[in-house]
Amino acid sequence: MSNIVIEISEDNYKMASDDVLCCCEYVNNKGERSHLLACCCDCEAFDQMADRLLKCEKVPPSLLNSFMETFTDRCRIPGLLGGGAMRLNLEVVTPIVIIPLSLVLCAIGPIITLIVLSLLPYFCLVFYFLWKKKTKKSRTKFFFVWGLTSVVFMYILFETIVCANANISIFDNILTTAAIIAMLVALFYAKKDPGIVPEDRLKQYLHDSYSSFGLAMTKNSSKEDLDGFEVIEISDIPTNGNNQEMGYSRDQSFSPHYLDTRENWCSICCIEKPTRSGHCNVCNVCIQNRDHHCVWIDSCVGAKNHRSFLVAMVIFVFIGYYGGYLTLTAVCDPNRPHDIMCSYYVAYRDFKWGLCYASAWYVIVVSTLMLIGLVHQVLLISQNMTSQEHHIAARFGDNHCFIYNPNNIHNHGFIQNWSDFILKRRYVGHYETV
């Protein structure tokens, strides 16, 4: 009797030990037990891709998707908390690695700086179109982490190299630091709540914003690819055969009053949407006064976060130009505080100054692109029109000079429009606080 008990106990112990994963083991997406050392082994998709590339043949999208699925599943690090190896979230890790590495390469010389700074926007665009066209994930943290990593990395360079080796005044240092803190606070509120309808979906929305931000345990991680999902800016407007959208035709003035009918019902959220709201297929929620979905903050911009979003953009542009100016003056000649132009022999005289010089121009280029978006936002707010309404009006040719819509019934003048925006009011039949 005792022997039988002992045998059963030993069998149970053996089965339990088989289920325990060591720090370098994991269960792959096929349900098989694997090891980190086998990350480069037995990848049929990679072998077929390499074979096609050597033969100069086209790689089909299905083969590329299979390779990316295998790659993301095997991209792991040893787990220290139990449960096996942890999978890296490539959307988070890629920007954190790419930005410092690219700027370090830029420190070599001006030609490499020109090449790398030209390729970085192209890299972002390629990722964006892959995400927009193919990814099955509803949201991506890639662009938000890209922007956040850029800000943190530039600030570290500014403090550790520029301020430590150049005559940067205490006022400039304090002003730059305070501006960065203010921008991060504005970003926090911009991601907090865009004005979700209904509000009981806010908890899930915030969970999607902050979950899976870094590492994922093997047993709790979900399948992550970079392919398959289409982003639709305005998708809940049905179109009939007469080229009319919810009662709106070309001979009518552009007015969100067409939303006041029963078509105001959102079949996806199963709710009655407020006037001037819209459904976002990326966030899968309806947003009050929806402006657009911004990939750079991984959130929609709507009634409750539009002001914070605009403040973050203004501060970002200020930090970019002001910090870039301070860095360039420090690199070119610390004794001449207004000299921002110098020869590449001076700029790349050693590694640290070459790194700062390339980073300064990177920040200036990014800030210029952000400035274009900021001007677009200012022009829309000045006529009390959201990007969603501008997009719909553009489809019917109602915009003049690309940006101005003379038939916008919500336009009550420049001063009144900005007053309503600052006080968080929108015209929805009458003025009311959102």
The tens digit of pLDDT for each residue in 304-343 reads 999 999 999 999 999 999 999 999 888 886 555 555 566 6
The token pair at 144 is 């938000």
* Six token digits for residue 321: 């130009």
pLDDT of residue 37: 61
What's residue 379's pLDDT?
92
Q: Number of folded domains in the chain? A: 2
Choosing from 86, 104, 132, the residue where a domain stops is: 86
In terms of Cα–Cα distance, which of 90, 69, 82 is closest to 214?
A: 90
Tell whether 68 and 155 lie within a shared domain.
no
C-alpha to C-alpha distance for 425 and 434, rounded to whole angstroms: 6
Rounded distance between C-alpha atoms, residue 117 and residue 433, angstroms: 44
pTM over 0.85: no
d(CA 402, CA 241) in angstroms, rounded, equals 27
102 vs 410: CA distance, rounded Å: 46
Q: Does the residue 10 lie in any domain?
A: no
Tokens found for residue 23 = 């720090």
Q: Are residues 137 and 58 in the same domain?
A: no
End position of a domain, from candidates 62, 86, 110 = 86
Spacing of C-alpha 147 from chain mean position: 8
Residues 46 and 157 occupy one common structural domain? no
CA distances to 372, 417, 428 from 414, in Å: 20, 5, 18
Answer yes or no: do 41 and 157 share one domain. no
Query: Which pLDDT does position 240 carry in this prediction?
Result: 38
244-289 pLDDT, tens digit each: 333 333 333 334 433 444 457 787 777 887 888 888 888 888 888 8
Residue 15, domain member (yes or no): no
CA dist 168 and 163 (Å) reads 5
Considering the domain architecture, whether residues 285 and 396 belong to the same structural domain is answered as yes
Reported as half-sphere exposure (CB side, CA atoms, 13 A), residue 50 has a value of 5
Kindly report the length of the chain.
Answer: 434
Query: Which amino acid is it at 249?
Result: S
Indicate if 59 and 111 belong to the same structural domain.
no
255 within domain boundaries: yes
Which residues, in sequence order, are CB contacts of 13 under 8 Å at separation 6+? none
Look at residue 342 in the predicted model and tell me its pLDDT.
Answer: 67
Residues of the chain with pLDDT under 70: 1-19, 22-26, 28-32, 35-42, 80-83, 85, 132-138, 211-263, 333-344, 425-434
Identity at 8, one-letter amino acid code: I
For residue 168, what pLDDT is reported? 86
Expressed as residue numbers, the domain containing 80 is 22-86
76 with 220, same domain: the answer is no
Same domain, 196 and 124: yes
Tokens 């931000």 sit at which residue? Answer: 213
Q: Where are the alpha helices (DSSP H) in 340-434?
A: 344-347, 351-382, 387-395, 414-422
As a whole number of angstroms, the distance between CA 90 and CA 75 comes to 8
Question: Rounded to an integer, what distance in angstroms lies between the CA atom of residue 228 and that of residue 209?
Answer: 20
The answer to whether the beta carbons of residues 26 and 76 sit under 8 Å apart is yes
Do residues 68 and 226 lie in contact, with contact meaning Cβ atoms separated by under 8 Å? yes
* Integer Cα distance of 43 and 49 in angstroms: 10
**Which residues does 140 contact at the CB level (< 8 Å), separation at least 6?**
91, 131, 295, 298
Which residue, chain included where needed, has tokens 């074979």? Answer: 51
Closest among 363, 382, 381 to 371, alpha carbons compared: 363
Residue 13 lies in a domain: no
DSSP one-letter string for 26-93: EE-TTS-EEEGGGTTS--HHHHHHHHHHHTTPPPPHHHHHHHHHHHHHH-EE--SSSSSPEEE-HHHH
Q: Specify whether 411 is located in the same domain as 349.
A: yes
Residue 307, token pair as written in the block = 């002001």
Residue 1 forms part of a structural domain: no
β-strand pairing of 431-433 with 425-427: antiparallel
Mapped onto helix, strand or coil, the DSSP state of residue 285 is: strand
- Supply the pLDDT for residue 4: 42
201: closest CA among 303, 294, 295, 270?
270
Q: Is residue 433, in this structure, part of any structural domain at all?
A: no
Look-up of token digits 């990395």: 153
205 Cβ contact list (under 8 Å, min separation 6):
193, 196, 283, 285
142-157 helix and 110-133 helix, angle to the nearest 10 degrees: 160
Asked if residue 236 and residue 344 are part of one domain, the reply reads: yes
**Do both 111 and 73 map to the same domain?**
no
Residue 206's alpha-carbon distances to 50, 67, 187, 209, 293, in angstroms, are: 41, 31, 14, 5, 15
Distances (CA, A) of 107 to 66, 167, 196, 352, 354: 37, 22, 45, 7, 4
Q: Which of 64, 86, 108 is the last residue of a domain?
A: 86
Residues 270 and 395 in one domain: yes
